[in-house]
Amino acid sequence: MSTPHPCAGEVLLGIRHLNKRFGGLQVTNDVTLDLRAGVVTTLVGPNGAGKTTLFNQITGHLVPDSGEIHWMGRPLLGKRPHEIARLGIARTFQDLRLFDHMTVRENVLTVTENRAWLWQPGGRSARDERAARVDAILDRTGLAGKAEARAIDLAYAERKFLSIARVMATGARIWLLDEPASGLDRGSYGHFLELLRSEVRNGVTVCIIEHNLDIVVSISDRIAFLDQGRLLADGDPQTVLNDPHLAAIYFGEQTS
Ligand SMILES: Nc1ncnc2c1ncn2[C@@H]1O[C@H](COP(=O)(O)OP(=O)(O)OP(=O)(O)O)[C@@H](O)[C@H]1O
Protein backbone atom coordinates (compact mmCIF):
# COMPACT_ATOMS: atom_id res chain seq x y z
CA MET A 1 0.00 0.00 0.00
CA SER A 2 2.79 2.42 0.84
CA THR A 3 6.51 2.78 1.28
CA PRO A 4 7.44 0.61 4.25
CA HIS A 5 8.21 2.44 7.46
CA PRO A 6 11.93 2.29 8.39
CA CYS A 7 11.22 -0.09 11.32
CA ALA A 8 8.92 -2.33 9.23
CA GLY A 9 9.45 -5.99 9.77
CA GLU A 10 9.86 -6.40 13.53
CA VAL A 11 7.26 -8.82 14.89
CA LEU A 12 5.07 -6.83 17.26
CA LEU A 13 2.43 -9.47 17.91
CA GLY A 14 3.36 -13.11 17.56
CA ILE A 15 0.41 -15.50 17.71
CA ARG A 16 1.18 -19.19 18.00
CA HIS A 17 -1.15 -22.19 17.75
CA LEU A 18 -4.06 -20.30 19.25
CA ASN A 19 -7.23 -22.25 20.02
CA LYS A 20 -10.59 -21.17 21.36
CA ARG A 21 -13.78 -23.14 21.56
CA PHE A 22 -17.30 -22.03 22.49
CA GLY A 23 -19.09 -25.24 23.44
CA GLY A 24 -19.06 -27.36 20.29
CA LEU A 25 -17.81 -24.53 18.09
CA GLN A 26 -14.07 -24.19 17.41
CA VAL A 27 -13.84 -20.44 16.76
CA THR A 28 -10.05 -20.23 16.69
CA ASN A 29 -8.33 -23.29 15.32
CA ASP A 30 -4.55 -23.51 15.63
CA VAL A 31 -3.99 -19.95 14.40
CA THR A 32 -0.37 -18.87 13.96
CA LEU A 33 0.17 -15.34 12.69
CA ASP A 34 2.72 -12.55 13.01
CA LEU A 35 1.73 -8.89 12.95
CA ARG A 36 4.79 -6.93 11.89
CA ALA A 37 5.68 -3.30 12.46
CA GLY A 38 4.64 -0.97 9.67
CA VAL A 39 2.59 -3.63 7.89
CA VAL A 40 -1.15 -3.19 7.36
CA THR A 41 -2.65 -6.64 7.82
CA THR A 42 -6.29 -7.18 6.95
CA LEU A 43 -8.27 -10.05 8.44
CA VAL A 44 -10.71 -11.23 5.83
CA GLY A 45 -13.22 -14.05 5.96
CA PRO A 46 -16.91 -14.85 5.96
CA ASN A 47 -19.23 -13.91 8.81
CA GLY A 48 -18.48 -15.97 11.87
CA ALA A 49 -14.96 -16.88 10.68
CA GLY A 50 -13.50 -15.89 14.05
CA LYS A 51 -11.95 -12.51 13.24
CA THR A 52 -13.37 -10.55 16.16
CA THR A 53 -12.75 -13.51 18.46
CA LEU A 54 -9.08 -13.32 17.49
CA PHE A 55 -8.98 -9.61 18.40
CA ASN A 56 -10.71 -10.41 21.68
CA GLN A 57 -8.00 -12.90 22.59
CA ILE A 58 -5.21 -10.47 21.72
CA THR A 59 -6.75 -7.71 23.84
CA GLY A 60 -7.53 -9.91 26.84
CA HIS A 61 -11.30 -9.76 26.44
CA LEU A 62 -11.31 -13.54 25.91
CA VAL A 63 -8.92 -16.16 27.23
CA PRO A 64 -7.71 -18.71 24.67
CA ASP A 65 -7.94 -22.43 25.50
CA SER A 66 -4.37 -22.94 24.37
CA GLY A 67 -1.60 -21.29 22.39
CA GLU A 68 0.56 -18.24 22.92
CA ILE A 69 0.55 -14.56 22.12
CA HIS A 70 3.70 -12.48 22.48
CA TRP A 71 3.95 -8.71 22.37
CA MET A 72 7.43 -7.63 21.27
CA GLY A 73 8.74 -10.98 22.45
CA ARG A 74 7.02 -10.99 25.85
CA PRO A 75 4.06 -13.20 26.80
CA LEU A 76 0.74 -11.40 26.72
CA LEU A 77 -1.66 -14.05 27.92
CA GLY A 78 -2.92 -13.65 31.46
CA LYS A 79 -2.91 -9.87 31.26
CA ARG A 80 -6.14 -7.93 31.62
CA PRO A 81 -7.52 -5.68 28.86
CA HIS A 82 -6.42 -2.42 30.51
CA GLU A 83 -2.89 -3.77 31.04
CA ILE A 84 -2.70 -4.82 27.41
CA ALA A 85 -3.97 -1.42 26.28
CA ARG A 86 -1.27 0.23 28.35
CA LEU A 87 1.40 -1.79 26.56
CA GLY A 88 0.49 -0.03 23.32
CA ILE A 89 -2.25 -2.18 21.80
CA ALA A 90 -5.40 -0.21 20.99
CA ARG A 91 -8.61 -1.38 19.41
CA THR A 92 -12.03 -0.38 18.21
CA PHE A 93 -15.21 -2.39 18.59
CA GLN A 94 -17.98 -3.00 16.10
CA ASP A 95 -20.41 -1.44 18.57
CA LEU A 96 -17.98 1.51 19.04
CA ARG A 97 -18.34 1.70 22.86
CA LEU A 98 -18.36 5.46 23.10
CA PHE A 99 -19.42 7.44 26.13
CA ASP A 100 -22.71 8.48 24.57
CA HIS A 101 -23.56 11.22 27.03
CA MET A 102 -20.14 12.84 27.08
CA THR A 103 -19.04 15.35 24.50
CA VAL A 104 -16.76 14.44 21.64
CA ARG A 105 -13.88 16.23 23.33
CA GLU A 106 -14.50 14.45 26.64
CA ASN A 107 -14.61 11.10 24.85
CA VAL A 108 -11.10 11.72 23.58
CA LEU A 109 -9.81 13.39 26.75
CA THR A 110 -10.78 10.40 28.90
CA VAL A 111 -8.41 8.25 26.88
CA THR A 112 -5.53 10.60 27.59
CA GLU A 113 -6.12 10.77 31.33
CA ASN A 114 -3.89 7.86 32.27
CA ARG A 115 -1.25 8.66 29.77
CA ALA A 116 0.59 11.55 31.35
CA TRP A 117 3.82 10.08 30.01
CA LEU A 118 2.72 11.01 26.50
CA TRP A 119 2.73 14.71 27.26
CA GLN A 120 6.10 16.30 27.72
CA PRO A 121 5.42 19.86 28.71
CA GLY A 122 7.88 22.40 27.46
CA GLY A 123 6.66 25.93 28.09
CA ARG A 124 3.07 24.76 28.49
CA SER A 125 1.44 22.78 31.28
CA ALA A 126 0.74 19.10 30.77
CA ARG A 127 -2.94 19.99 30.77
CA ASP A 128 -2.47 22.45 27.90
CA GLU A 129 -0.39 19.89 26.02
CA ARG A 130 -3.18 17.35 26.35
CA ALA A 131 -5.79 19.84 25.23
CA ALA A 132 -3.70 20.80 22.20
CA ARG A 133 -3.16 17.17 21.29
CA VAL A 134 -6.89 16.43 21.57
CA ASP A 135 -7.64 19.45 19.36
CA ALA A 136 -5.18 18.17 16.76
CA ILE A 137 -6.81 14.72 16.82
CA LEU A 138 -10.29 16.20 16.47
CA ASP A 139 -9.04 18.27 13.56
CA ARG A 140 -7.54 15.28 11.77
CA THR A 141 -10.64 13.16 12.27
CA GLY A 142 -12.91 15.95 10.99
CA LEU A 143 -14.59 16.36 14.38
CA ALA A 144 -13.29 19.80 15.39
CA GLY A 145 -16.63 21.43 14.65
CA LYS A 146 -18.40 18.85 16.82
CA ALA A 147 -16.09 18.98 19.81
CA GLU A 148 -18.82 20.09 22.22
CA ALA A 149 -21.58 17.85 20.80
CA ARG A 150 -22.57 14.76 22.75
CA ALA A 151 -21.48 11.50 21.16
CA ILE A 152 -25.06 10.28 21.05
CA ASP A 153 -26.04 13.23 18.84
CA LEU A 154 -23.43 12.53 16.16
CA ALA A 155 -24.16 11.09 12.73
CA TYR A 156 -23.07 7.48 12.21
CA ALA A 157 -19.90 8.32 10.28
CA GLU A 158 -18.91 10.86 12.93
CA ARG A 159 -19.32 8.21 15.63
CA LYS A 160 -17.00 5.94 13.66
CA PHE A 161 -14.42 8.73 13.41
CA LEU A 162 -14.77 9.38 17.13
CA SER A 163 -13.87 5.76 17.81
CA ILE A 164 -10.74 6.26 15.65
CA ALA A 165 -9.98 9.52 17.46
CA ARG A 166 -10.06 7.62 20.75
CA VAL A 167 -7.58 5.10 19.37
CA MET A 168 -5.33 7.91 18.11
CA ALA A 169 -5.34 9.46 21.58
CA THR A 170 -3.91 6.29 23.12
CA GLY A 171 -0.60 6.79 21.33
CA ALA A 172 -0.61 3.01 20.83
CA ARG A 173 1.91 1.31 18.59
CA ILE A 174 -0.62 -1.08 17.06
CA TRP A 175 -4.26 -0.50 16.22
CA LEU A 176 -6.73 -3.36 15.90
CA LEU A 177 -9.69 -1.96 13.99
CA ASP A 178 -12.90 -3.98 13.82
CA GLU A 179 -14.79 -2.99 10.65
CA PRO A 180 -13.98 0.70 11.07
CA ALA A 181 -15.31 1.63 7.63
CA SER A 182 -18.53 -0.39 7.60
CA GLY A 183 -21.52 1.80 6.85
CA LEU A 184 -19.41 4.77 5.73
CA ASP A 185 -20.27 6.55 2.49
CA ARG A 186 -17.52 6.92 -0.13
CA GLY A 187 -16.51 10.40 0.95
CA SER A 188 -16.14 9.32 4.56
CA TYR A 189 -14.21 6.20 3.79
CA GLY A 190 -11.92 8.21 1.50
CA HIS A 191 -11.16 10.40 4.50
CA PHE A 192 -10.74 7.33 6.69
CA LEU A 193 -8.23 5.77 4.26
CA GLU A 194 -6.26 9.00 4.03
CA LEU A 195 -6.10 9.22 7.82
CA LEU A 196 -5.01 5.62 8.17
CA ARG A 197 -2.31 5.95 5.52
CA SER A 198 -0.90 9.00 7.22
CA GLU A 199 -0.83 7.27 10.62
CA VAL A 200 0.92 4.26 9.08
CA ARG A 201 3.51 6.59 7.54
CA ASN A 202 4.06 7.98 11.03
CA GLY A 203 4.84 4.52 12.38
CA VAL A 204 1.51 3.06 13.52
CA THR A 205 0.95 -0.61 12.75
CA VAL A 206 -2.57 -1.60 11.80
CA CYS A 207 -4.54 -4.82 11.76
CA ILE A 208 -8.00 -4.31 10.36
CA ILE A 209 -11.07 -6.48 9.98
CA GLU A 210 -12.83 -5.42 6.81
CA HIS A 211 -15.49 -6.77 4.44
CA ASN A 212 -15.39 -4.01 1.82
CA LEU A 213 -13.01 -5.39 -0.81
CA ASP A 214 -12.33 -1.93 -2.31
CA ILE A 215 -10.97 -0.89 1.06
CA VAL A 216 -9.15 -4.18 1.54
CA VAL A 217 -7.38 -3.79 -1.81
CA SER A 218 -6.50 -0.17 -1.31
CA ILE A 219 -5.09 -0.46 2.19
CA SER A 220 -3.63 -3.91 2.79
CA ASP A 221 0.01 -4.86 2.63
CA ARG A 222 -0.98 -8.34 3.60
CA ILE A 223 -4.16 -10.37 3.98
CA ALA A 224 -4.86 -13.10 6.51
CA PHE A 225 -7.88 -15.16 5.46
CA LEU A 226 -9.85 -16.94 8.16
CA ASP A 227 -12.65 -19.44 7.79
CA GLN A 228 -14.28 -21.39 10.61
CA GLY A 229 -11.49 -20.36 12.94
CA ARG A 230 -8.70 -21.56 10.66
CA LEU A 231 -6.11 -19.36 8.99
CA LEU A 232 -6.42 -20.55 5.39
CA ALA A 233 -4.02 -18.04 3.83
CA ASP A 234 -1.61 -15.35 4.88
CA GLY A 235 0.14 -13.44 2.13
CA ASP A 236 0.19 -10.60 -0.34
CA PRO A 237 -3.24 -9.22 -1.25
CA GLN A 238 -3.24 -10.15 -4.93
CA THR A 239 -2.34 -13.78 -4.26
CA VAL A 240 -4.94 -14.19 -1.54
CA LEU A 241 -7.74 -12.33 -3.33
CA ASN A 242 -7.13 -14.13 -6.63
CA ASP A 243 -7.27 -17.57 -5.04
CA PRO A 244 -10.45 -19.16 -6.49
CA HIS A 245 -10.84 -21.50 -3.53
CA LEU A 246 -10.87 -18.58 -1.06
CA ALA A 247 -13.16 -16.53 -3.30
CA ALA A 248 -15.65 -19.40 -3.34
CA ILE A 249 -15.60 -19.56 0.46
CA TYR A 250 -15.91 -15.80 0.83
CA PHE A 251 -18.54 -15.07 -1.79
CA GLY A 252 -20.39 -18.30 -1.12
CA GLU A 253 -20.95 -17.15 2.41
CA GLN A 254 -21.54 -13.53 1.41
CA THR A 255 -24.44 -14.37 -0.87
CA SER A 256 -25.97 -17.14 1.22
N1 LIG B 1 -19.16 -15.23 23.52
C2 LIG B 1 -19.52 -16.12 22.58
N3 LIG B 1 -20.16 -17.26 22.92
C4 LIG B 1 -20.50 -18.17 21.99
N5 LIG B 1 -20.22 -18.05 20.68
C6 LIG B 1 -19.59 -16.93 20.29
C7 LIG B 1 -19.19 -15.91 21.21
N8 LIG B 1 -18.57 -14.92 20.52
C9 LIG B 1 -18.57 -15.31 19.23
N10 LIG B 1 -19.19 -16.50 19.09
C11 LIG B 1 -19.34 -17.25 17.85
O12 LIG B 1 -18.02 -17.46 17.37
C13 LIG B 1 -18.02 -17.43 15.94
C14 LIG B 1 -17.00 -16.42 15.50
O15 LIG B 1 -17.49 -15.12 15.81
P16 LIG B 1 -16.68 -13.80 15.41
O17 LIG B 1 -17.49 -12.66 15.90
O18 LIG B 1 -15.29 -13.91 15.89
O19 LIG B 1 -16.71 -13.87 13.82
P20 LIG B 1 -16.26 -12.77 12.77
O21 LIG B 1 -15.38 -13.43 11.80
O22 LIG B 1 -15.74 -11.57 13.47
O23 LIG B 1 -17.67 -12.43 12.08
P24 LIG B 1 -18.24 -11.06 11.47
O25 LIG B 1 -17.50 -10.81 10.21
O26 LIG B 1 -19.69 -11.40 11.22
O27 LIG B 1 -18.10 -10.00 12.51
C28 LIG B 1 -19.44 -17.10 15.51
O29 LIG B 1 -20.07 -18.31 15.17
C30 LIG B 1 -20.04 -16.48 16.75
O31 LIG B 1 -21.44 -16.69 16.79
Task: Give the per-residue pLDDT at 124.
Answer: 65
Which of 19, 28, 47, 53 should be mutated for ligand 1, with most atoms under 8 A from CB?
Answer: 53
- The residues of the chain scoring below 70 in pLDDT are 1-8, 114-124, 253-256
Q: Read off the DSSP letter of residue 154.
A: S
pLDDT at 129 (0 to 100):
82
Residues 105-138: tens digit of each pLDDT: 999 999 887 555 555 555 567 778 888 999 999 9
pLDDT number for residue 36: 96
Q: Whose CA is nearest to atom 27 of ligand 1?
A: 47
Is residue 134 located within the same domain as residue 161? Answer: yes
Q: Which residues, other chains included, contact 192 with Cβ-Cβ below 8 Å and sequence gap of 6+?
A: 160, 161, 164, 180, 181, 184
Alpha carbon of 10 to ligand 1 centroid (Å): 30
How many whole angstroms separate alpha carbon 30 and alpha carbon 11? Answer: 19
Residue 94 lies in a domain: no
1 shares its domain with 81: yes
DSSP codes of every residue in 123-190: SS-HHHHHHHHHHHHHHHTT-GGGTTSBGGGS-HHHHHHHHHHHHHHHT-SEEEEESTTTT--HHHHH
229 lines ligand 1 (CB under 6 A): no
Which range of residues forms the domain containing residue 132? 99-171
3-state secondary structure of 19: strand
Beta-bridge mates of residue 18? 31
Looking at ligand 1, which residue's alpha carbon is closest to its atom 2? 22
What is the number of structural domains in the chain? 2
- ipTM of predicted complex: 0.95
